[in-house]
Chain A
Amino acid sequence: MDKKRRDFLKIAGLSAIAGVAAPTALNTLFKGEVIASDHGGGHGAEPQGQGHAKIEVPTGKRFGMVIDVNKFHRYEGLAEKCTNACHSIHNVPKFTDPKVELKWIWKEPYEHAFTEHSHYKKNDELHNMPFMVMCNHCDAAPCVRVCPTQATFKNKDGMVLMDFHRCIGCRFCMAACPYGSRSFNWSDPRGKDKDGKPLIAKENTKFPTRTRGVVEKCNFCAERIAVGQEPACVEACGATKAMIFGDLNDAHSEISQVLKKQYTIQRKPALGTKPSVFYII
């Protein structure tokens, strides 16, 4: 074999070009296929609202709540009873100034709770109804997504919880939450009000307080569920059944049965947060 240097260089050069170009060319082809099939599968910009979403196969638990507003309307003082039960169990301080107040569950009029719904020419009764509002424990919670320290997280049972140890008080979550369910501790919650009365009337020694500079919100009573109790507000409603708590993924649970039979609405469904709290009006 008599090879000249000139020929050798030509062959070496061509091999090098082929070696570099071939994988790139194959990759491009392969990716092209994937993109094509992706379009076929239909993962485009579909509306993500609950009403239009594809049927998902649920895995694990997803706790949710149904609130019967009619019952809250009928039983006077029930709303306050729920709030008090929750706030006393969770050591939520009582600030009178609405600028700094802390709330886990409270009542709002229809106009405030359902801002996306039309308020025009609605019946008079609706405007007098007390709507209990709280954290919606969204399936696609924006607060969880924005939290820079993962202090807010979603647990395995679909509850949006807070690890207060981790909260740095940046309040991104408060900006992200479309329901205003989060409150910030502007001052020491263990302090005293103007009249010298402690902000937490009676501390529940089973639960911690918070400290200045952390955000707090309803935790669906995760600490009570863990030991087989109902959430405090549900317990306060008692036999009235104004609030029903349970696993939305379990077709046989009481809440699933109620949701199957009753017409319910959710707050701001168009945002795609997939709230877990439903209202019977």
Chain B
Amino acid sequence: MVKKRENQDFVLSLLQERKGDAMYDGGKIIPGLVIFVGLMTYPIWSGNAGTTPKPVKPTGHEKCVKHKEFMRTSHMVLLNEWRDEVVRDGNREQIHIGDKVYDKSLQNGCMHCHTSKKKFCDECHNYTAVKPYCWECHIQPKETI
């Protein structure tokens, strides 16, 4: 009990403005903190956040079924919609982009252009540390390497 009281007094004394002896070893701690924070935030202010993922784009196909920005952030939403349409409603209407036709399917659609899971899917999924369970059932294309 006495000890607790002492602690409280100590904290209070720290909070109160005191001249001269504001902090023990302040000369070491504050520069140390500055260096520490600087090092920790290095990737942010230096603009070098490690190797950014570079998914390999398919050759021979100019356009995806949606624009790049949408696919980058919301491809999983689209896949869920396709799943419900195809599996539950039996709506297998194909998607026409230019003169090309695409099936609403991960295994039989997406992966026909994006022929490598390793070079396309895994690039970003590993970077962002997400583990989608698509491939526990869906069969990924044979990796050529």
Chain A contacts with B in 179-210, Cβ cutoff 8 A: 203, 205-206, 208-210
A211:B137 contact, CB within 8 angstroms: yes
CA distance A206 to B139 in the complex (A): 8
A161:B87 contact, CB within 8 angstroms: yes
In the complex, whether B90 has a CB less than 8 A from a CB of chain A is yes
For residue B142, give the distance in angstroms from its CB to the closest CB of chain A. 8
In the complex, whether A163 has a CB less than 8 A from a CB of chain B is yes
A164:B92 contact, CB within 8 angstroms: no
Residues of A near B89 (CB, < 8 A) are: 155-156
In the complex, whether A38 has a CB less than 8 A from a CB of chain B is no
A161's nearest neighbour on chain B, judged by CB, is B87
Q: Majority SS of interface residues in chain A?
A: loop
A206:B90 contact, CB within 8 angstroms: no
Given A165-B83, A208-B107: A203 touches B139 (CB 8 Å cut-off): yes
A163:B139 contact, CB within 8 angstroms: no
Residues of A near B87 (CB, < 8 A) are: 161, 163, 165
CA distance A222 to B86 in the complex (A): 10
Given A165-B83, A205-B107, A206-B108: A226 touches B92 (CB 8 Å cut-off): yes
Given A164-B137, A211-B137: A206 touches B107 (CB 8 Å cut-off): yes
In the complex, whether A101 has a CB less than 8 A from a CB of chain B is no
Residues of B near A157 (CB, < 8 A) are: 90
In the complex, whether A110 has a CB less than 8 A from a CB of chain B is no
Residues of A near B141 (CB, < 8 A) are: 205
In the complex, whether A172 has a CB less than 8 A from a CB of chain B is no
In the complex, whether A153 has a CB less than 8 A from a CB of chain B is yes
Which of B108, B133, B137 is packed against the most chain A CB atoms within 10 Å?
B137
Residues of B near A210 (CB, < 8 A) are: 137
CA distance A226 to B94 in the complex (A): 12
Residue in B88, B90, B139 whose CB lies within 8 Å of A208? B139
Which of A157, A165, A208, A227 is packed against the most chain B CB atoms within 10 Å?
A208
In the complex, whether B138 has a CB less than 8 A from a CB of chain A is yes
Chain B contacts with A in 116-145, Cβ cutoff 8 A: 133, 136-139, 141
For residue A60, give the distance in angstroms from its CB to the closest CB of chain B. 12
Given A161-B87, A163-B87, A165-B83: A208 touches B138 (CB 8 Å cut-off): yes
Could you give, for residues 66-102 of chain B, a 1 whenever the CB lies within 8 Å of some chain A CB and a 0 otherwise?
A: 0000000000000000010001111010000000000
CA distance A209 to B136 in the complex (A): 8
Residues of B near A211 (CB, < 8 A) are: 133, 136-137
For residue B132, give the distance in angstroms from its CB to the closest CB of chain A. 12
A208:B137 contact, CB within 8 angstroms: yes
B80's nearest neighbour on chain A, judged by CB, is A165
Residues of B near A209 (CB, < 8 A) are: 137, 139
CA distance A209 to B135 in the complex (A): 9
B91's nearest neighbour on chain A, judged by CB, is A226
For residue A105, give the distance in angstroms from its CB to the closest CB of chain B. 21
Residues of B near A156 (CB, < 8 A) are: 89-90
For residue A33, give the distance in angstroms from its CB to the closest CB of chain B. 40
A157's nearest neighbour on chain B, judged by CB, is B90
CA distance A163 to B82 in the complex (A): 13
Given contacts A153-B88, A163-B88, A164-B137, 17 further A-B contacts (CB under 8 A): A91-B139, A155-B88, A155-B90, A156-B89, A156-B90, A163-B83, A165-B83, A205-B107, A206-B107, A208-B107, A208-B137, A209-B137, A211-B136, A211-B137, A222-B90, A226-B92, A227-B92
**3 tightest A-B contacts by CB?**
A211-B136, A208-B137, A208-B138
A-B contact pairs, 8 of them (CB 8 A): A155-B88, A163-B83, A205-B139, A208-B138, A208-B139, A210-B137, A211-B133, A226-B90
